[in-house]
Amino acid sequence: MSLRLQVNLIITTLLAVFASALIGLQIENTRRSVHDEILGANTVAGQLLSRMQWIEDYGGLAGMTDFLQQVGRIRANEIELRDGEGTLIYKSPAPTYKAGRVAPKWYSALVTPPLESKEINLPIGQIRLKADASRAVLDGWDELRPTLWIVLAGFVLSNVLIYTLMGRALRPLDKLFVALRHVAEGDYSTRLTGLRGREGRQISESFNHMAQSVQDSLEAKRMAREAEQALAQNREFTHAIQERIELERAAISRELHDELGQQVTAIKSVGLAIARRAAGNDASIEESARLVMQCADNIYDGMHRMIAELRPLVLDQFGLYDALRDLLADCQLRHPELSIVATLPEALDSPQDAMATAVYRIIQEALTNALRHARATRIEVAVAIHADTLELEVRDNGSGQISAFHNTGHYGLAGMRERVQVLNGHFQLEQCEPSGIAVRVRLPLTTQNNHA
């Protein structure tokens, strides 16, 4: 059911209630008036007829009949005269007032008062007096009928007028429905214009604001999807670059170990041979040969440090557990004043290459930051493997501040975060008390298969 029809039915119901109350009030007034009139006329007629004993004594039933015929019809009453055997001798003539017309039965039943007939017993007969409200009821009906026609005409005209005005008042809703249908079909550029009145302007402003908000939200979601896709592509690209860098580092480290290592060993062997041959013969040559051997040892040590930084061979040969132990041992060797506390489970050999490389590089970078920038004297390294996650934490007591990492130039931190994000992990920095920084990383083990 339309809103227009609902409002019209409500107003029609109210009008019907008002009209019914008005008609009911008039019917009630007519009923009281008829009751008072009939009661009064019946009382007067009864008192008159009760004094007719002398007429009976003087003229008998014939005299009483003649008297009643001369009196004629008494308003609002019907008179019957019967002899001692009950035979009808006289009956009041039919009313001449509005003769031939009667009020509707339903109306008569509503306004006719319930009055009982009166009987006057005489020695030679009986007079019966019966109230007749038909003329008074007919008068009331004649008064009510114009009111009914006026109410009916007003009722019909009011409904037509209200229906028409409601159609005009609700016309903006048609435009609103059309606009909503367009929005539902995906046309979010739809706008409402031309609505009159304060409510129309409010509807237009509210709808246009809603449509603009939906359009902006969809545009923002579209841009977010595009940004998310671009970010995912960038991460895949970054992951590919990191893998390529690791492959190149591994190749360079192998070349350094195999080629340069052999050359340095050869140089050292030649220097040793020269030193032995010159021993006791030429001290200067022997000293130069030993300097060559010392330089070869320095080159060999530096080469091994470069190999460890490029790609630790132990990571490929023995796994993450041994690689981290070697990393920490080398750090302790180069910094004897440093206190390192490590918690490394042997189950660290289980992560595959991508995650193992990420864990190694993150710990390596965290150690470098703690020593180079924060001048830490104590570093705690803890790695734990759970059912579906790998968690690591590197905590130091240095002078580093998280606020300083927001400045430009901290590419190591960005590299750690990027490695974690590529593996769909969680990266967190925490300022420790009284000093130091904790690096916390959580990596899902389920992602290792995706990047293997």
**pLDDT at residue 126 tops 80:** no
Instruction: Select from 169, 189, 209 the last residue of a domain.
Output: 169
Q: For residues 377 and 400, what is the distance between their CA atoms, to the nearest angstrom?
A: 12
> What is the DSSP code string of 357-412?
HHHHHHHHHHHHHHHHTS--SEEEEEEEE-SSEEEEEEEE-SS--GGGGGSTT-HH
Average pLDDT, the chain: 79
104: cis peptide before it, omega within 30°?
A: no
Instruction: Select from 151, 169, 187 the last residue of a domain.
Output: 169
Specify the pLDDT at position 21.
87
**pLDDT at residue 246 tops 70:** no
Least confident of 37-51, 194-208, 225-239, 381-395: 37-51
Label residue 396 by pLDDT band (50, 70, 90): very high
Confirm if 373 and 406 have CB atoms less than 8 A apart: no
**pLDDT at residue 28 tops 90:** no
Instruction: Let me know if residue 271 belongs to a domain.
Output: no
**pLDDT at residue 292 tops 60:** yes
Average pLDDT over residues 249-263: 73
**pLDDT at residue 440 tops 90:** yes
Least confident of 205-219, 243-257, 268-282: 243-257
Q: At 173, give phi and psi (nearest 5°).
A: -65, -30
Specify the pLDDT at position 350.
58
Specify the pLDDT at position 175.
77
Label residue 59 by pLDDT band (50, 70, 90): low
Q: In total, how many domains does the chain have?
A: 2
Instruction: Let me know if residue 205 belongs to a domain.
Output: no
User: In DSSP terms, which residues pair with 127 in a beta bridge?
Assistant: 81, 120
Label residue 387 by pLDDT band (50, 70, 90): confident
**pLDDT at residue 427 tops 90:** yes
Instruction: Let me know if residue 235 belongs to a domain.
Output: no
Report the first-to-last Cα separation within the chain, whole angstroms.
64
Least confident of 54-63, 162-171, 179-188, 383-392: 54-63
Instruction: Let me know if residue 187 belongs to a domain.
Output: no
Q: For residues 34 and 39, what is the distance between their CA atoms, to the nearest angstrom?
A: 8
Instruction: Let me know if residue 290 belongs to a domain.
Output: no
Give percent of the chain above pLDDT 70.
84
Cα–Cα nearest to 443, from 411, 415, 419, 407: 419
Instruction: Let me know if residue 252 belongs to a domain.
Output: no
The DSSP H or E segment spanning 426 is strand 426-431
Q: List Cβ<8 Å contacts ≥24 apart for 323-330.
A: 323/356, 323/360, 324/348, 324/359, 324/360, 324/363, 324/381, 324/383, 327/360, 327/363, 327/364, 327/367, 328/367, 328/381, 330/305
Sign of the four-CA dihedral 6, 7, 10, 11? negative
Q: Which residues have C-beta within 8 Å of that of residue 227, sequence separation ≥ 6?
A: none
Least confident of 39-43, 103-107, 109-113, 369-373: 39-43
**pLDDT at residue 442 tops 90:** yes
Residue type, 328: L
Confirm if 111 and 34 have CB atoms less than 8 A apart: yes
Specify the pLDDT at position 50.
61
What 3-state DSSP class applies to 349?
helix
Confirm if 362 and 382 have CB atoms less than 8 A apart: no
Q: For residues 143 and 149, what is the distance between their CA atoms, to the nearest angstrom?
A: 11
Q: Which residue has the higher pLDDT, 415 or 452?
A: 415
Specify the pLDDT at position 409.
56
Confirm if 158 and 133 have CB atoms less than 8 A apart: no
Give the highest mean pLDDT range of 45-49, 129-133, 210-214: 210-214
Give percent of the chain above pLDDT 90.
8
**Cα-trace Rg, the chain:** 59
Label residue 45 by pLDDT band (50, 70, 90): low
Domain of residue 90 covers 3-169
pLDDT, one tens digit per residue, over 134-176 is 777 778 888 888 888 888 888 888 888 888 887 777 777 777 7
Instruction: Select from 134, 169, 204 the last residue of a domain.
Output: 169
Label residue 408 by pLDDT band (50, 70, 90): low
Q: Is the pTM of this model over 0.95?
A: no
Instruction: Let me know if residue 119 belongs to a domain.
Output: yes
Average pLDDT over residues 14-25: 84
Average pLDDT over residues 376-403: 89
**pLDDT at residue 53 tops 60:** no
Q: Identify the CATH number of the domain in which residue 344 sits.
A: 3.30.565.10
The tokens 């409402």 sit on which residue? 192
Average pLDDT over residues 355-370: 88
Q: For residues 192 and 426, what is the distance between their CA atoms, to the nearest angstrom?
A: 47
Instruction: Let me know if residue 243 belongs to a domain.
Output: no
Specify the pLDDT at position 450.
45
Q: Is 253 exposed, middle or buried (0-12, 13-18, 19+ CB in 10 A)?
A: buried
* CA angle in degrees (0–180, nearest 5) for 409-412-418: 110
Q: At 451, give phi and psi (nearest 5°).
A: -115, 10
Q: For residues 115 and 110, what is the distance between their CA atoms, to the nearest angstrom?
A: 14
